[in-house]
Amino acid sequence: HQQELAVARGELQAALEEGEAQSQRATERLQGALGEHQAELSRLCVAHGAEVGSLRQQALQLEQELEARGRERQSLQEQLSTAQAELASQQALLQQLRTYVGEQGSGLGPERQHLLGQVQRLEGERDALRTTAELLQLRLASLSDILALQELELTRKPCDPLQPERPRKSRSLLRPLGREKVFALMVQLRSPELGASGGRHQTCSRGKVSGLLEGSGS
């Protein structure tokens, strides 16, 4: 019996030691996993803080850009109003001159050719003013569309910096150079329409058109 008791005690001691060893290994694994989790959590917190700072900076830049483009839109509206007023005045003057030439007829003598030349010149200036007004309307419309997109982007809730990269990137509505690309595309689409009015006033309006196109990138 004593021998059996000794064997049983030995087996019990071995079982206790094995249990303690397993418990120690499990504790070490848990501590390692906890350390990794804490390190990952710390890394995510740092990344989150950096992303929040970046989002705030982007929002500030977008607000400043909105203010600048708002001022640009106001300037375009004023230029358009001026161009439309000049166009109306030129149209009225042209109509008066045509009426005068028509009423006087051949009684004007040599002066008739001079007046007809003035009519042609005024028609060219009128067409140039019309082209200028159309381009101003085009710029104003494209700028208004871009402002609407940027205002929508500004009012959207900030995205979660912890979510996957692709969904975060897909939330952006407008990228740099968006205005220039939109304006260039719209000018290309409208170019045939603007050119259909004839080549008579192209030389007169070339300087104003070039100025408007260059102004679109400012």
Q: What is the largest CA-CA distance in the chain?
A: 152
Most confident region among 10-19, 22-31, 55-64, 178-187 by mean pLDDT: 22-31
Is the pLDDT at 48 greater than 70? The verdict is: yes
Output the six-digit token pair for 21. 């060893």
The answer to whether 97 touches 118, Cβ cutoff 8 Å, is: yes
Give 129-187 pLDDT, tens digit per residue. Answer: 888 888 888 888 887 887 788 778 777 655 544 444 444 443 444 454 455 555 555 55
Q: Provide the angle, in degrees to the nearest 10, between the axes of the packed helices 178-195 and 111-155.
A: 150
Q: pLDDT band for position 52 (50/70/90)? A: confident
User: What is the C-alpha to C-alpha distance for residues 146 and 70, in angstroms, rounded to an integer?
Assistant: 11
Q: What is the reported pLDDT for 208?
A: 46
User: What is the C-alpha to C-alpha distance for residues 51 and 195, in angstroms, rounded to an integer?
Assistant: 49
Most confident region among 40-54, 98-112, 162-176 by mean pLDDT: 40-54
Of the chain, the percentage scoring pLDDT greater than 70 comes to 68
Residue 160's contacts (CB-CB under 8 Å, 6 or more residues apart) are 168
Cα 7-9-14 angle, rounded to 5 deg:
95
Q: pLDDT band for position 110 (50/70/90)? A: confident
Output the six-digit token pair for 32. 């390692």
User: What is the C-alpha to C-alpha distance for residues 135 and 187, in angstroms, rounded to an integer?
Assistant: 8
User: What is the C-alpha to C-alpha distance for residues 78 and 98, in angstroms, rounded to an integer?
Assistant: 30
Higher local confidence (pLDDT), 209 or 126? 126
Residue 31's contacts (CB-CB under 8 Å, 6 or more residues apart) are none
- Domains contained in the chain, number: 1
Q: What is the reported pLDDT for 179?
A: 52
The answer to whether 160 touches 124, Cβ cutoff 8 Å, is: no
DSSP 96-147: HHHHHHHHHGGGGTTHHHHHHHHHHHHHHHHHHHHHHHHHHHHHHHHHHHHH
What average pLDDT is seen over the chain? 73
Residue 153's domain comprises 2-215
Q: Which of 71-75, 113-117, 192-196 has the lowest mean pLDDT?
A: 192-196
Place of tokens 């102004």: 215
Is the pLDDT at 22 greater than 50? The verdict is: yes
Q: What is the reported pLDDT for 66?
A: 81
**Mean pLDDT, range 107-117, rounded to an integer:** 75
Could you tell me which of 122, 44, 129, 210 has the C-alpha nearest to residue 137? 129
Alpha helices by DSSP H, listed for the chain, are 2-104, 111-155, 165-169, 178-195, 202-215
**Mean pLDDT, range 107-119, rounded to an integer:** 76
Q: What is the reported pLDDT for 61?
A: 84
| Model-wide pTM > 0.85 | no
